[in-house]
Amino acid sequence: MTSASYSSAAAEPFEGLRIRGVAKTFGTDTTVLNEIDLDVHPGELISLVGSSGTGKSTLLRIIAGLEEPSAGRVTYAGQPLERGSVGVVFQRPILYPHLSVKDNILFPTRLGAFAGRVDMDYYRELLEALKLEGLESRKPSQLSGGQAQRVGIARALIRRAPVVLFDEPLASVDEQMSASIRADIVRLHERYGFTGLYVTHDQNEALMLGQRVAVMDAGYLVQVDTPERLLAHPHTLQVAKLMAAPALNLLALEDSEALPAGCELAIRATALCPVAADAAHALPVQVLGSRHLVGGMLYRARLLEAVSLPLESRRASADSELSARVRAGQELEFFISDAQGTSLIGASLSVGEQVHLGVAAERCFLFSDGKRFYL
């Protein structure tokens, strides 16, 4: 079957989806969005991730034209974004109960300027891609939750709207179906090249789907980057805690006076972390205090043989005991407790074994008042 081009309806080049200075305030003192700036390039799929209440869905509703911003504007191809240029997939598909699957999917093509503009070849492509063949005559009550959401996706795509928004569409779908639909969304995006924004609270889903990931926290857009750079270089403690999987390990620094270049940071008196001279020069004096945290990906830590370590290396390792291990998918996660009872994540052999952990400095960050510094 010949693929119908999603972008053929818009032959002229365009800038993409542009969000500038978008803010939203409810009442006089409840600010949900704070001057959001974001560009989604033509044909790009961006994941928008954040915990509940960070303003993700409010931003999506503003882009979709379902809510007015208090300030700022949303444009596509340099023009104000119109409702007809947006397809929306909601968390729970809003299907007409008296209509069949076919009529639910085709319903948007019977409205306004789109009336009569039905590409049945494209419709059949969507049925095949979303595994809906043979279900066209069913009513929504005869569908599973996953099937109903597939119908919602097909309906959002049927008009070939250049912008497609996904508002946590898999939040109410079981994991097996979620994995299947995620793969379908990736294939549909690769095939038809729509400009997409995918809202989720699940960091793994955000990393799997987004060519770039935009992280929101308390109504602010705090970082936008590729999944690889986001994991390797989180800009803030909030980003690091949200995106790390398994969880980022955080150890508090002891109170300390400012030390010269090449100093060692005392981490709960269990480990001394050497700081490179060039890195130490970049650290502000106030970072060496009890409110500051060292973050490390200890699930990638090296196990060290204490007896073979020189004194300097032994001081830079943490005496720990493996306290538990948990299977997560096809991998094992090992939980390790240090002398102060801090729960760490690493790898070892058996419960109760004494281990020494060493983490490369480039895998650690120093967070001070929410800002990140490299060790």
pLDDT (mean) for 190-207: 93
| 215, 239 contact by CB (below 8 A) | yes
Residues 6-235: name the CATH superfamily.
Answer: P-loop containing nucleotide triphosphate hydrolases (3.40.50.300)
Instruction: Give the residue from 65, 64, 61, 80 showing the smallest Cα distance to 20.
Output: 80
Residues 6 or more apart whose Cβ sits within 8 Å of residue 246: 299, 328, 333, 345
Residues 6 or more apart whose Cβ sits within 8 Å of residue 200: 47, 48, 49, 168, 170, 171, 206, 209
Question: What's the rounded Cα separation, in Å, for the pair 21 and 38?
Answer: 9
Residues 6 or more apart whose Cβ sits within 8 Å of residue 103: 96
Pairwise pLDDT comparison (25 vs 346), residue with the higher score: 25
Model pLDDT for residues 138-152, shown as the tens digit of each residue: 999 999 999 999 999
Question: What's the rounded Cα separation, in Å, for the pair 186 and 236?
Answer: 29
Question: What's the rounded Cα separation, in Å, for the pair 271 and 280?
Answer: 18
Please say if the pLDDT value at position 124 is more than 80. Answer: yes
Question: What's the rounded Cα separation, in Å, for the pair 171 and 165?
Answer: 15
Please say if the pLDDT value at position 158 is more than 80. Answer: yes
Please say if the pLDDT value at position 169 is more than 90. Answer: yes
Place of tokens 């973050």: 295
Model pLDDT for residues 76-106, shown as the tens digit of each residue: 988 888 877 899 999 988 899 999 999 999 9
Q: What is the pLDDT of residue 238?
A: 81
Please state the pTM of the whole predicted model: 0.73
Domain ranges of the chain: 6-235, 249-374
SS (H, E, C) the chain: CCCCCHHHHCCCCCCCEEEEEEEEEECCCEEEEEEEEEEECCCCEEEEECCCCCCHHHHHHHHCCCCCCCEEEEEECCEECCHHHEEEECCCCCCCCCCCHHHHHHHHHHCHHHCCCCCHHHHHHHHHHCCCCCCCCCCHHHCCHHHHHHHHHHHHHCCCCCEEEEECCCCCCCHHHHHHHHHHHHHHHHHHCCEEEEEECCHHHHHHHCCEEEEEECCEEEEEECHHHHHHCCCEHHHHHHHCCCCCEEEEECCCCCCCCCCEEEECCCEEEECCHHHHHHCCHHHCCCCCEEEECHHHCEEECHHHCCHHHHHCCEEEEEEEEEEECCEEEEEEEECCCCEEEECCCCCCCEEEEECCHHHEEEEECCEEEEC
Q: What is the pLDDT of residue 111?
A: 73
Mean pLDDT over the full length of the chain = 72
Supply φ then ψ for residue 320, to 5 degrees.
-140, 165
